[in-house]
Structures are given as C-alpha cells and as structure tokens.
Structure 1
Amino acid sequence: MKHLTDIKSLSKSTILELFASAEKISASDITATKKWHPGKSAIALFFENSTRTLASFQLACQRLGVDVTALNVAHSSTQKGETIKDTVLTLNAMQPDLFIVRHHENHIQDKIVDWIGQETGVINAGDGSHQHPTQGLLDLFTIWQHKQQFDDLKVTIIGDIKHSRVANSLIDGLQLMQTKEVVVYGPDALIPEQLNALKASNMKSALCDADVVVMLRIQKERLPKDTHVDFSQWHQQYGLNSENLKAAKANAIVMHPGPMNRGIEITDRVADGEQSVILQQVRNGVLMRQAIIHRMLEL
C-alpha cells in the first residue's frame, strides 16, 4: 500500500490486516513503537481547518518515531500565488516519506500522486465532499471492536449524506466488508440520487433494529445557496435522542465523527450515554492512522 486516497482501493483482507495491526499497536508500549520508523518523515498539508484529524495524524507519526511537519497553509506560498502543484513538488524535493493531505478540492490527492509518482506516499486526510478514508477505516475498526463481524449488521447513517466525505468512505467500507444492511436517512435534498435505494422513509424505520447508528453534522460550508432545508426543524426531524434511539437494538452503538452539534443532530444524553462510542472513535483515530502509516512505511 503505497498510497491511500480512496477506501475503495483496499480489499477486505487488507482492512482486516489493518485492524490486526491497530490491535497490536494498542497492546504495545509507545516507547516500543517509537522505535519502528526512526529517520522517516511526513509532511501534513492541511488546506482546510482541522483539529482532531490533524492532531491524531501528528500523534500517530510521533508514536511511530516519524518526524512530522505540519504546514501552516495560512502562511504558505499558496497564499502568495504559488500553485498547489508547485508547492507539492517543492516540498517533495525535500524528500519526505509521506504527504498527509486535506484539501477542499475533490480528488486532489490523486493529482498529487500523478505529480510525484511512487516517490513519496500520499494519504488522503479528506478531499472536498469525496473521501475521508482514514476516518472510514477508524469507524469500521470501532464497529469491529464491538460487533466482531459485519455480515449480520444493520448500520444506519443519518444526516447530510450528500456532502459528507465521511459517509462516502464509510458506506464504501461497509460494502467492502459485506455488511448485511446499510440505511441512510436525511432530507431528500441531502441524499445523493445513487443512494436512494438505501434511504429510509422515516426516522423510526431508519433506526428500527439498527446495530450501529452513525450521526453526521450538517455540512453548511459545502451546501449550495439554493438548498431547501429547514435547519430550524433539524433536531425534531433528524436528531437522535434517547427516546427515538429505543427503536434500535438495545446493544446498538452510537457513533459521530465530530465535531458534534449538540442539541441539533444529537442530544447530550445520547452523546454522553452508555451506547456512545464517540470518544472511542477518537482514540481509534490515532491507532488506525498508526496502522496505516506503519503499513505504508514498511514497504
């Protein structure tokens, strides 16, 4: 695995190997894993704001002994008129081992791979509304920890599906893992046409007998101005609370990639409740990114 730009580039067996690697890392002392990749280097190119993703990548690199440099894009040459291609080629001349890239343009990481070839690994840390493969993998890993299988699960994803790279990667990953049933629910305007076959007719049917419930925030920064959605009624129609969660299975887990808008897509009681695995997702973000970076640098 030289690059990771799209979760669909992986196989089920590779994903299971990444799960095993993350479990091994979890059981290892940080002092030990820091000796795995001394002398390796990574550059994090984040052209969009990020808190948890950037921090988890930085920690993942540090805990593997990888020197990581996070580029402050606000002060980079792209703000002076330099193209992203020239920025990447300039940085690549410094001979890093990995680029970790987040950008608002769909498929930009694939372009970067074309520009630099196989010389340096590229990890997609989010591109527009297209893909967020490391988030998809950590979400799959979290489900695996609780359910140990996918072929008998109902996974429900609720919210702004159309503009969510998290939803795209998770749905692709769930299909790769041969999940029994994947259901999406949200306003018609926020469900892409290609997923209409997965769309529930109402909140109750979306949640009925679900094993996993994934809540998504509204991607307001990506919505077209002519989007017809009444956001003032969002929680009443699409929010998860302790009452409607009862429709799911008693042992269902509740997930959210963050950042959460409490009181809009999820209530405090659910977000902080016994069924919530949201903080576990955050912990798994570091572990799964360690597993991915380790696999890429091993080759």
Structure 2
Amino acid sequence: MEWRHRHLFDLDDWTREDIERVLALTSEIEGILNDGGKALPSLKGKTLVNFFLESSTRTRVSFEIAAKLLGMGVINWAAASSSMAVKGESLKDTLWTLESMGVDVVVVRSSWVGAPQYMARKLRRARVINAGDGTHAHPTQALLDIYTAWKRFGSLEGKRVLIAGDILQSRVARSDIIGFKKMGSEVIISGPGNMVPLNYKALGVRYEPDFAKAVRESDIIYLLRVQKERWQVNAIPSDYEYHLSFGCSEEALREARGCAVVMHPGPINRGVEIASEVADGDKSLILEQVRNGVLVRAALLYLYLGGDA
C-alpha cells in the first residue's frame, strides 16, 4: 500500500493507523536483523543527506546507520565548511545543488522553526524529514519512543505517560504528546512553572506541579533535560536544587508503579533530571530507545522513498 505522506514535518496530520503501520514495519525490520538481515528491504541507489545545522549524536548517526542498512548512500553535509557558511550561497541554491546531484531525501535539523517546511517548498523532487526544528517538533524521536513503549507494554491504550522537565523548550515533548495521545495514552506534564507552556491545556494534557505525585501515577516516566542553550537567563537556581524537586532519583522511583519504566531522549544530564542509578537501572529504557532509533528511521526511509510495505 502506497505511503500517503510526502514529507515528515510532525505527527499532527498522522492517524493512529499511520503510526501503527510504522510500528509494524519497524518490528518486521527488527526481526529480519535478528535473523541475520539477509532479507532486509533495499533502497540501493538512493541517497540521503544529513543536513544538520545544530549538533546531534543519536539522531544524525542513527539516520546514517539506518540508511546504510538499506543500502543507501549517505552524505553528512558539513555546515561550517559549506559554501552557504563561507561563500554566501543561499539555502535555496544549496538545496537545489544537492538535489541536482541526485539526493533523494534531506534529513534536516535546524534551530529555525519551520525550516523543514521551507526546504520542502524549495525542493522539486527530494523528500524532507524533520530531525528537529527549534522548539517545534521532533517526530522521529516521538515514533521511536512510541515503538519502545509499545514493545514493552503492547497496547498503549489508557497508559499514563509523564513528561517531566523543560517542556517549554522541548521539541520532543510536543511531538511525544501528539503521538502518545493518538495511541490512546493519557499524558501528564510536570516541571517548574517557568518551564511549562502557558497554553498547555490546548495540548490536551494535565499539569501536575508535584513531580513525586506524578511519578506515582504514571506507567512511563519520560524525563527531559534543561535546555540551557535555549534560555536567555538562568532557568533554574542550580542543578542540585532542580534535582531535589524534579529529578528522578532512586527514592522517587521506588514510589512508582511496579510496571513503570523510565525514558529519556538524550543527552542525559546525570544528577540533574536523572540520577545515574536510575539511568543505569533495570527500569531504564534509554539505551533501548537509542537502538530502536535506527530501526524506526530505517522503516521511515523505506516508506518515504517508495517502499510498499
């Protein structure tokens, strides 16, 4: 069945069935890899460019690995040494140059909200996948989070997801809220008042300022780091004080439901939003999220570049 989306900006226009299709294909790819990978679907002859204007480890590398698993060529475009940065070439001309060379998909990360949409309007043939635009959206992170939780719990219907931390500056939070709600989950947010959007009710979530209480109520405890690079002033008095009120410690986790798991999009700040004992503990799915990122992104590349799964 043909995939109905041309570009991936966020999950706003996705249905639950779209998400479930990605979950099913990802599970199929995982099974093939576990069996040795001989029957893996192929995108040989296709080329991906990682067009990253912000730093990244997990997202950029996992897209590269995912593309290579499918037989694709990969270009890691170097922003600092590009003609756009050094010689004054426009973004539009840079995109047209890459497309003329045969690039099939542009994976973009930018501090500019709306950059993926702008690029999609300028490109004539290539697909665009949003790998994070400013504080707006990070849809592939949300999909790998949903896949990780789905593998653990099966159905996500009625599961209670706590997203805690710097909600205001988090593109992950917004995409996760949309995605988990489409899967039938209830979403709670928690964090300091200055880190919670004023219009949080419009997102269809409940705000619980008491982090310990929110932990006790939740099946999935999803922690976010304080994005100090996006704040113009000190957002918190100190890392230590933040950890006392909103950090997930062993003590806090002991009060959680027996089935509860801990997730984090990375990079983690140990001793701030999460204690090392929790990050490395048996309830942590953080490294599983990283592994699943490769699988989910492989599934997305296959769907967006003409696969008929």
Q: What's the TM-score once normalised by structure 2's chain length?
A: 0.92
Aligned to 1:51: 57
Shift of the 205–66 alpha-carbon distance from structure 1 to 2, 3 Å rule, reads: same
Aligned match for 1:218, one of 223, 226, 229: 226
Aligned to 2:73: 67
Aligned to 2:110: 103
> What are the ranges of 5 or more consecutive residues in structure 2 without an aligned counterpart?
none
Aligned to 1:205: 213
Is residue 43–residue 100 contact of structure 1 (8 Å, CA) maintained in 2? Answer: yes
> What are the ranges of 5 or more consecutive residues in structure 1 without an aligned counterpart?
none
Q: What is the CA–CA distance in structure 1 between the aligned matches of 2:39 and 2:302, rounded to whole Å?
A: 10
Is residue 157–residue 185 contact of structure 1 (8 Å, CA) maintained in 2? Answer: yes
Name the SS of the counterpart of 1:27 in structure 2: helix
Aligned to 1:160: 166
1:154-213 Cα distance to aligned partner (Å, 9 max, x none): 10011000001111110111121121x211111111100121562103112211221000
1:262-296 Cα distance to aligned partner (Å, 9 max, x none): 11111111111110010000000000000100111
**1:62: how far off?**
0.1
Aligned to 1:20: 24
What is the Cα-based RMSD across aligned positions, in Å? 1.5
> Percent identity at matched positions?
38
Task: State whether structure 2 residue 123 is matched by structure 1 residue 116.
Answer: yes
Is residue 191–residue 209 contact of structure 2 (8 Å, CA) maintained in 1? Answer: no
Larger mean CA deviation between 141-150 and 55-64 belongs to 141-150
Q: What is the CA–CA distance in structure 1 between the aligned matches of 2:30 and 2:56, rounded to whole Å?
A: 24
Shift of the 70–49 alpha-carbon distance from structure 1 to 2, 3 Å rule, reads: same
Is residue 151–residue 177 contact of structure 1 (8 Å, CA) maintained in 2? Answer: yes
Task: State whether structure 2 residue 238 is matched by structure 1 residue 231.
Answer: yes
Aligned match for 1:283, one of 291, 296, 300: 291
Q: What is the CA–CA distance in structure 1 between the aligned matches of 2:89 and 2:182, rounded to whole Å?
A: 39
Task: State whether structure 2 residue 150 is matched by structure 1 residue 144.
Answer: yes
Q: What is the CA–CA distance in structure 1 between the aligned matches of 2:148 and 2:119, rounded to whole Å?
A: 30
Is residue 33–residue 64 contact of structure 1 (8 Å, CA) maintained in 2? Answer: no
Is residue 34–residue 62 contact of structure 1 (8 Å, CA) maintained in 2? Answer: no
Count of residue pairs the alignment pairs up: 296
Question: What residue identity is the alignment partner of 1:48?
Answer: E
Is residue 228–residue 235 contact of structure 2 (8 Å, CA) maintained in 1? Answer: no
Question: What residue identity is the alignment partner of 1:93?
Answer: S
1:67-126 Cα distance to aligned partner (Å, 9 max, x none): 111101111112122222221122112121111111110010001111114x11110011
1:123-143 Cα distance to aligned partner (Å, 9 max, x none): 001111110100010001111
Larger mean CA deviation between 209-218 and 85-94 belongs to 85-94
1:29-40 to 2 correspondences below 5 Å:
29=33, 31-32=37-38, 36-40=42-46
Q: What is the CA–CA distance in structure 2 between the aligned matches of 1:46 and 1:34, rounded to whole Å?
A: 27
Aligned match for 2:264, one of 256, 259, 263: 256
Name the SS of the counterpart of 2:12 in structure 1: helix
Q: What is the CA–CA distance in structure 1 between the aligned matches of 2:144 and 2:302, rounded to whole Å?
A: 15
Is residue 209–residue 247 contact of structure 1 (8 Å, CA) maintained in 2? Answer: no
Question: What residue identity is the alignment partner of 2:277?
Answer: R
Q: What is the CA–CA distance in structure 1 between the aligned matches of 2:235 and 2:127, rounded to whole Å?
A: 41
Q: What's the TM-score once normalised by structure 1's chain length?
A: 0.95
Task: State whether structure 2 residue 141 is matched by structure 1 residue 127.
Answer: no
Is residue 49–residue 77 contact of structure 2 (8 Å, CA) maintained in 1? Answer: yes
Name the SS of the counterpart of 2:163 in structure 1: strand
Shift of the 109–51 alpha-carbon distance from structure 1 to 2, 3 Å rule, reads: same
Q: What is the CA–CA distance in structure 1 between the aligned matches of 2:14 and 2:52, rounded to whole Å?
A: 24
Larger mean CA deviation between 77-86 and 105-114 belongs to 77-86
Name the SS of the counterpart of 1:144 in structure 2: helix
Question: What residue identity is the alignment partner of 1:149?
Answer: S
Shift of the 4–228 alpha-carbon distance from structure 1 to 2, 3 Å rule, reads: closer
Q: What is the CA–CA distance in structure 2 between the aligned matches of 1:154 and 1:74, rounded to whole Å?
A: 42
Q: What is the CA–CA distance in structure 1 between the aligned matches of 2:227 and 2:92, rounded to whole Å?
A: 27
Shift of the 246–31 alpha-carbon distance from structure 1 to 2, 3 Å rule, reads: closer
**1:35: how far off?**
5.7
Aligned match for 2:8, one of 4, 10, 18: 4
